[in-house]
Amino acid sequence: MATEAVGEVIPNLDYASVMQPIAGNAGGKNLLSMRQLDHGDIHGYISEAYAIERVIQDPRQRGVSLLPFVVLKAVMRQPSTRTAGSMVTAINKLGGTADLISGMTSSSEAKGESLADSWIAFATQADIIGTRTAEDNGPMYAARVIAEAASQDQLWQNVPVINLGDGRNEHPTQALGDLFTVHKEFDKLEDLKIVIVGDHERYRAHHSLMIGAATVGMSVVAVESKTAPVPHEYVDSLGDQLTITPDLDAAMSDADILYIGRNPDEYTGEEKAEKRRSKKLAKDYESWVVDLDRIQQMSPDAIVLHPRPRRNELHPSVDSDPRMRDVQQMENMIPMRMAIIAKHLGKSISGSLN
Amino acid sequence: MATEAVGEVIPNLDYASVMQPIAGNAGGKNLLSMRQLDHGDIHGYISEAYAIERVIQDPRQRGVSLLPFVVLKAVMRQPSTRTAGSMVTAINKLGGTADLISGMTSSSEAKGESLADSWIAFATQADIIGTRTAEDNGPMYAARVIAEAASQDQLWQNVPVINLGDGRNEHPTQALGDLFTVHKEFDKLEDLKIVIVGDHERYRAHHSLMIGAATVGMSVVAVESKTAPVPHEYVDSLGDQLTITPDLDAAMSDADILYIGRNPDEYTGEEKAEKRRSKKLAKDYESWVVDLDRIQQMSPDAIVLHPRPRRNELHPSVDSDPRMRDVQQMENMIPMRMAIIAKHLGKSISGSLN
Amino acid sequence: MATEAVGEVIPNLDYASVMQPIAGNAGGKNLLSMRQLDHGDIHGYISEAYAIERVIQDPRQRGVSLLPFVVLKAVMRQPSTRTAGSMVTAINKLGGTADLISGMTSSSEAKGESLADSWIAFATQADIIGTRTAEDNGPMYAARVIAEAASQDQLWQNVPVINLGDGRNEHPTQALGDLFTVHKEFDKLEDLKIVIVGDHERYRAHHSLMIGAATVGMSVVAVESKTAPVPHEYVDSLGDQLTITPDLDAAMSDADILYIGRNPDEYTGEEKAEKRRSKKLAKDYESWVVDLDRIQQMSPDAIVLHPRPRRNELHPSVDSDPRMRDVQQMENMIPMRMAIIAKHLGKSISGSLN
């Protein structure tokens, strides 16, 4: 396997074997895609996050020793402050520790090591791995390489892999945190209308959220421009639960949740077509700017989410509006990522196996 | 607030609201300036540092579980090995953990995030923040942004901010460690004569030390050159307790403490005036070099301090002299920074709220 | 001492005083060279590693609180993912914490600090130090500087230094992990035949392994090319226990262990002679490639080791062969490095001082 992948070129393999359905038991499994989760699974993560939040927001506790001596290796191949930081805080508040590896390549790869060999090396030093990759399926590849080595008894244990964002594909831990934020507001997920606006083609947080929202029975409205349409696979799999419209104002007027994501143009490449696309998309974003005026048309009970960092698309004038939940959304990532780490190592704060 | 600050440009706001007097109770407050501390406060930090030192220097203990699950975010915008490292050791020996962020900008800022938004994001992941900034008032700005978000219930808790050095302004944790070192030697702080020599204009450790020394009733002598004089605000506020002289040898001959700081010329900018100033200051430092010969004129009971790193201004020949306390001074930063972290989270090793 | 070393130029001092024989008691001592260890010492580390392995591979334990509040400072002057990561995991699974410093120079050195001063500063913040240096004897110099400051009561405690690889000299923790891997296979170390092939002149892992293997009574065969011969000091000190041959196939056919190391040509300098050497050595490595075919001539009970990362010298075709132990070899570094850290701080998992 070592020769199949060099650097960040991810081979086009079948990753189904490492993307098992959670089906009520996350212990020992990878979290790679929201497609692994059914309705009950999503509520399971949310229940756990509520229980954990009560503990960490109690100043006499601030954490819980669920995972002593557990080492999380967080391998961030794309820059990240927020996700990396929340994973570090999450494992520390579970009594474990983090080893954060940032940068495009490790020193081992600089020494000429294959990507597969690097993943095996990381797995020998960790109890659980979280990773962000520039390429689609990077975490899936890691999970497959590790599972194979474990099945051949080269590794004494399989090491679960958590996808912290892979290329233009998915960002499931973000989506679970987002759904937790929604649940805290409405005390349910079902039958809510969520409007998602932004770069649907490439922004991975949108993809995972669309799958998750549809799984729990939300009505999903994607406000789309021609430059960055919802990919066919999402249109196909969401079916009736997805509506597509070009009209943001019409869509948001009766929404329960407005979700706007950043224009991820720092990932724009150097090719001419890429730059042309980027220019067009910037124009789209100008028409989507969410400011204090614009959100007044929403119900006072509606909420507005944004998976920070924000730029111009979310104007600071909104900060005082009671509909804003974007800061809480960041905070909610801590208990949710704690819930994810715990559950995928077979633990839960209630003391029983999940 | 998000648009008020981009990168390291700190807005000129009123920071009094986040610089409350400690007045015997540091719990939940920021530590931004030595001006927040009265005579009793300084002795309070020192008492706590003594108690902590006994525990961490007991090889059967090495630390104390005062702050389990507490996450310190150390955001070092200027390079730092020593201060960052001692904060990391300090929180670990209190049973908590550190997340160290080094570098001029975070990846979030590279993605176009405002400085205010970055601070909010850090606050969602931390129980306490320590930060060093290139600009004056950087930590004060962080504290203000965070306090506002907490007061608006965007953040579930306020997160205290510890100033680990802001531009040319202050470095209060260094000054508290320095005063602890003095107290260990003389068993008091009052009525001692401290001579401080170096770049009084820009060296922040001098500023915090001057305030602190005056607060506890020391007599402060600043050996000053025309290039780097004591700023007016310190002359004004220290009043009678400050004497200014150009003559190092006369000043040090009857001093209890000689304190020399590094020429911080790595911060010299590229402008012509800056470079001219730097050249002149280097000449001043040549006349201030402290070597074995020079310190012989001091009492055998006097001590010499230097907040490392040192360069030519403190000659290695002094290392064997019994007056030197510069290594101990570094060591003393660990129990003092532990005391600071604990007290600002409302804890003390004696078990009661401070 | 501060002026004796600037940057990475290590002074040519007598380091015997910091390289004491372990002689059954590692507590408080440095681990700088395999020459400090006798036969019994090596078995002592291995016994401890076995005991620790049982604990960390028990999913209900995963670690042991032997070293609470202990801070390991890992100062990696050469790039390292694997060694740094395994040290971090090791100290965390002992209940302590790591402060990892990576890069050629620290910010203190950038501020003009001497190397000696930097080591003293690190020592004020740590209970134990591990370091990798580009120059031979870098860790020995650190140990000497620190021991002197401790003996003069500048430091309140001596801080043991663990050599994590120094230039072209030694890599003792790697060798101990390698010997642990051998022992797990053969339940003994004595009277085994180990064949070592690669760059004997410069590859430090070979050096430490040769010393260790000879110490426990193995028969060592070095497969050598003219470009990278075994240095005279090893030829002299190993005596009868070392055989040198140019013929890899003849040597490996009846070996118990085949050990091949990477061509460390990322360390090749820019001088012409260096580049010529590198070219020749690359040719040697072509003739040494270990692939699935080649290892078939070995006994089915033999094992093949490689201290990853690997490049072309170990072909991925071997991965399915039952003789391969290179992944386990990485895994074994965790319990072995835990054993080393614990023993050098006077602790052992059996609860008694070692």
A contacts of C85 (beta carbons < 8 Å): 73, 99, 101, 121-122, 125
pLDDT of residue C110: 67
Bond preceding residue C21 cis, omega within 30 of 0? no
pLDDT of residue B106: 55
Mean pLDDT of A42-67: 97
Contact B122 A85 (CB under 8 A): yes
CATH code 1.20.1260.10 for B173-330: no
Contact B112 A309 (CB under 8 A): yes
In whole angstroms, how large is the CA radius of gyration of chain C? Answer: 20
By C-alpha distance, the chain A residue nearest C99 is A99
Greater model confidence, C108 or C284: C284
Contact C108 B82 (CB under 8 A): yes
Q: Which band of pLDDT confidence, cut at 50, 70 and 90, is reported for residue B177?
A: very high
Q: Cβ neighbours of residue C294 under 8 Å, at least 6 residues apart? A: C249, C252
Task: Tell me the count of B-C CB pairs closer than 8 A.
Answer: 96
- Evaluate if residue A326 carries a pLDDT over 60: yes
Q: CATH for C16-170+332-344?
A: 3.40.50.1370
Mean pLDDT of B175-193: 98
Task: Give the residue extent of every domain in chain A.
Answer: 16-170+333-344, 174-331
Greater model confidence, A2 or C296: C296
Mean pLDDT of C61-83: 95
Q: What is the pLDDT of residues B102-150, one digit of tens each?
A: 876 655 666 688 999 999 999 999 999 999 999 999 999 999 999 999 9
- The rounded distance, in Å, linking the Cα atoms of B51 and B69 is 22
Mean pLDDT of B74-99: 95
Contact C327 A99 (CB under 8 A): no
Contact B266 C68 (CB under 8 A): no
How many CB atoms neighbour CB C51 within 10 A?
A: 17
**Same CATH topology for B16-170+332-344 and B173-330?**
yes
Q: Tell me how far apart the terminal alpha carbons of chain B are, to the nearest angstrom.
A: 33
Read off the tokens for C301: 């009970």
Q: CATH for A16-170+333-344?
A: 3.40.50.1370
Nearest-CA distance from A97 to chain B in Å?
Answer: 8
Q: Candidates 3.40.50.2000, 3.10.129.10, 3.50.50.60, 3.40.50.1370; correct CATH number of A174-331? A: 3.40.50.1370
Q: Which band of pLDDT confidence, cut at 50, 70 and 90, is reported for residue B354?
A: very low
- The rounded distance, in Å, linking the Cα atoms of A175 and A193 is 16
By C-alpha distance, the chain A residue nearest B149 is A327
- The rounded distance, in Å, linking the Cα atoms of A137 and A170 is 9
Contact B99 A93 (CB under 8 A): no
**What is this model's ipTM?**
0.95
pLDDT of residue B79: 80
- Evaluate if residue C108 carries a pLDDT over 90: no
Say which range, A59-73, A263-277, A309-323, C338-352, has the weakest mean pLDDT: A263-277
Mean pLDDT of C267-292: 92
Contact B124 A86 (CB under 8 A): yes
Chain C residues at the A interface, defined by Cβ less than 8 Å, are 56-57, 59, 61-65, 79-82, 85-86, 88-89, 92-93, 95, 97, 262, 266, 308-311, 316, 319-320, 324, 327-328, 330-331, 333-334
- Evaluate if residue B287 carries a pLDDT over 90: yes
pTM for the model: 0.96
Read off the tokens for A30: 């990878």
How many CA atoms does the CB half-sphere of B155 hold within 13 Å? 23
What letter represents residue B88's amino acid? V
- The rounded distance, in Å, linking the Cα atoms of C251 and A57 is 64
How many CB atoms neighbour CB B16 within 10 A?
A: 9
CATH code 3.40.50.1370 for C175-329: yes
Contact C86 A127 (CB under 8 A): no
Nearest-CA distance from A176 to chain C in Å?
Answer: 27
How many CA atoms does the CB half-sphere of B77 hold within 13 Å? 26
Nearest-CA distance from A277 to chain C in Å?
Answer: 38
Q: What is the pLDDT of residues C38-48, one digit of tens each?
A: 999 999 999 99
Which residues are B129's β-sheet partners? B73, B161
Task: Tell me the count of A-C CB pairs closer than 8 A.
Answer: 96
By C-alpha distance, the chain C residue nearest A120 is C327
State how far the alpha carbon of B132 is from the alpha carbons of A343, B29, B32, B164, C331, in Å. Answer: 37, 18, 11, 5, 39
- The rounded distance, in Å, linking the Cα atoms of C175 and B248 is 56
- Evaluate if residue A4 carries a pLDDT over 70: no
Say which range, A310-324, B8-22, B43-57, C145-159, has the weakest mean pLDDT: B8-22
Contact A69 C62 (CB under 8 A): yes
Q: Which band of pLDDT confidence, cut at 50, 70 and 90, is reported for residue C218?
A: very high
Mean residue pLDDT across chain A: 93
Residue with tokens 């329960």: A256
- The rounded distance, in Å, linking the Cα atoms of C28 and C345 is 6
In chain B, pLDDT over 90 holds for what percent of residues?
88
DSSP H or E segment with residue C242: strand C242-245
- Evaluate if residue A104 carries a pLDDT over 70: no
- The rounded distance, in Å, linking the Cα atoms of A186 and A219 is 15
By C-alpha distance, the chain C residue nearest B98 is C99
Mean residue pLDDT across chain B: 93
Contact B308 C121 (CB under 8 A): yes
Nearest-CA distance from C124 to chain B in Å?
Answer: 5
Q: What is the pLDDT of residues B233-243, one digit of tens each?
A: 999 999 999 99
- Nearest CA to C122 out of C104, C143, C94 is that of C143
